[in-house]
A and B are shown apart, each in its own frame.
Chain A
Amino acid sequence: MIIRGNEPDQIRLIKRLYKPGNYFMQGNEAVAYGALFAGCRFYAGYPITPSSEIAETMARELPKLGGYYLQMEDEIGSIAAMVGASWTGFKVMTATAGPGFSLMQENLGYAVMTETPLVLVDVQRSGPSTGQATKGAQGDFFQARWGTHGDHPIVAVSPTSGQDAFWETIRAFNIAEKLRTPVVVLFDGVLAHTREQIKIPDVSEVEITYRKLPENEEEAKLPFGDPHGDGVPPMPLFGHGYFTHVTGSTHKENGLRDVYTPEVHDRLVRRIHRKIEKNREVYEKYEEHFTDDAEILVVSWGVTARPALGAVLRAREEGIKAGLFVPKTVHPFPGERMRELAKKSRAILVAEMNLGQMIIEVERYVNDDVLLKGVNKIGGVPLTVEEILREIRGVA
């Protein structure tokens, strides 16, 4: 089989190279190792702070595993090369930050439209524009959701620590493969550069999935059909003599362009949406702490979820009934669970390193009788336990 990464040889190489155990490493390195364990054997990227160590780690490690590192001329070329490589059967990844993420948006849309599995890590940094290039932030929440044009679904996951980044990167690959879709990893510059203890497991403990391939010629002839009723078409890879046509223009089930028939566009784009909506169990994930009896609910994501947990723990010590809700897959937003939790809460604080982005999503699931407040900080320095605790006390 042409899909690289599932051969016993890959398992042998991983076992040889990466002994299970505790390592002291950066969040960025954890992302890279997660990708390698998930079977990523093709990386195309363009350096940008604070993501560059992901590229550096991939450049060093991929050749050992028989994988390919490409430094492209820019971010547009990077994601383009990834799409090309994905159609030959590779699991592919790139990593970037703010300005690079902006450049990738057009072809991110292309990957959505052509249902190309890929993983795009956005190590969020302070913006707009070159902003504080070396500082972390959480300002790309909506860029991940709506950065490209048109009606499209997107899946984005967001790790809360270096250790989590290892596992969430693997999960991103699994979602991408299962749903034949691009997946964004919304990481951030703070965790990316924080060194901490990270446990590398034995490769046998890692669940690895692969995209569905056509079972017969019939299925291969419909690269954008839905033969299994789950909205996810099997992917006929290039080089197998299927004569597949792939286009970012509106296409029929057989891949051929039809940009004039309204029904064809409607059918295609709705199926791409349905594929994501209907397969919630593949990607929905959140964490909860003390939500059973919480009156004050802190909602937080990514890097900020850590001081948020600290603040909730301290509030509990003070007898305040605080709880924490952390969406791990941030798009599509875990709205159902949010609605349930909101019903039980008196006040909701949304803590994030921006001027209020996820709070807009939260608001959609919260009734008017709940006090909803953002805890926001920009400038490149993460929120502290104290800062969040102060806000909890304020509404207690």
Chain B
Amino acid sequence: MAKKIYSTYPMVKYLRKEALPTALCPGCGGGTVLNAFANAIDGLKIDPKDLVVVSGIGCSAWIASPYFLADTLHTTHGRAIAFATGVKVGLPDKKVVVISGDGDLASIGGNHLLHAARRNIDITVILVNNFIYGMTGGQVAPTTPFGAKTTTSPYRNIEHPLQISETVAAAGASYVARWTTAHVYQLIESIKKALQVKGFSLVEVISQCPVQYGRRNRMKEPAEMLRWFLKNSVPVSRARNMSPEELEGKFVIGEIVNRERPEFTTELNKLIDEVQEHFGLKEE
């Protein structure tokens, strides 16, 4: 039965079949993200042999690690980007992708996120922002909207959410885009661009967690969450002319930044070349 379903899904060739079915809840946005990622890889004709996917801990961390059939590194909570940094230096010609959650990458791992962007190391990060700690049971996250209810903000959240994409763009990333799981085609195109950019790229995906977030915030059905995303999405171009008050509770979608900057592993290898040259250590 299960086999039949997989065989009709064209992207199944990219999945580790022995790890299926996924542990994600029905209706979770994680499936959309995996689908979009597989389509981007397929669209660019990237050989999975040229790909290493790294993730931290959380539901979103499972999206591609273990399910994507590539070298996959499932690390400690928050540290995926730092692990990926070592992988990228070791394999500068491979595509190194981090897929993980907002809690993982922007809370406990926030420091690594900022510094990888600053270094502009050629890693693509797909950050799944579901406004909540899904895996640990729906606690408040640094992305939880102001006023929202979670298991650890049972009355209401009085903290302000972190604008991850804007922060990472300010830190120096080459490419930053934000979409929601209701914008699948745009998301695929952005992941493709991010994979091709030589430098640090971040694609933030606003994603539904109906089980831990939706349920506590009057959106039990996944579709209700998708409608919420669509209704409140504002393209970057329009957002530029809006006041902070008008933008409160909105999702600014589109490309936040796309620019060229010297990339870390390239600079590192250039430096090594120069040093070896300088000391006359190059093979004659």
A positions within 8 Å CB-CB of B: 9, 12-13, 16-17, 42, 44, 63-64, 66-68, 70, 72-74, 76-78, 80-90, 92, 106-107, 110, 238-249, 254-257
Contacts and interface: CB of A to CB of B under 8 A. Distances in A.
Interface in B1-34: 16, 18-19
Contact of B89 (A9, A42, A246): A42
Contacts of B115: 72-73, 77
B70 interface: yes
B37 to A, nearest CB: 16
A173 to B, nearest CB: 17
Contacts of A85: 86-87, 89-90
Contact of A68 (B48, B78, B79, B268): B268
Given A81-B89, A83-B86, 7 more contacts: A17-B281, A44-B85, A66-B276, A80-B82, A81-B82, A87-B71, A243-B16
Contacts of A90: 90
B76 A88 contact: no
B66 interface: yes
Interface string B132-148: 00000000000000000
Contact of B76 (A12, A74, A80): A80
Given A70-B85, A77-B111, A242 B74 contact: no
B76 A248 contact: yes
Interface residues of B, number: 42
Contacts of B268: 68
Contact of A257 (B66, B71, B281): B66
Interface of chain A, helix or strand or loop or mixed? mixed
Contacts of A16: 281
Interface in B72-109: 72-76, 78-79, 82-91, 94
Contact of A64 (B70, B82, B88, B275): B275
A239 to B, nearest CB: 5
Contacts of A83: 75, 83, 86
B205 interface: no
B49 interface: yes
B149 interface: no
Contacts of A68: 89, 268, 272
Contact of A74 (B19, B84, B111): B111
Given A73-B112, A77-B115, A85-B90, A238 B276 contact: no
Contacts of A257: 66, 74
Interface string B110-142: 011011000000000000000000000000000
A42 B90 contact: yes
Contacts of A248: 74-76
B41 to A, nearest CB: 14
Contacts of A87: 71, 73, 86-87, 90
Please list the 5 inter-chain residue pairs (A to B) with the smallest Cβ-Cβ separation, ordered nearest first: A88-B90, A84-B86, A80-B82, A81-B86, A85-B86
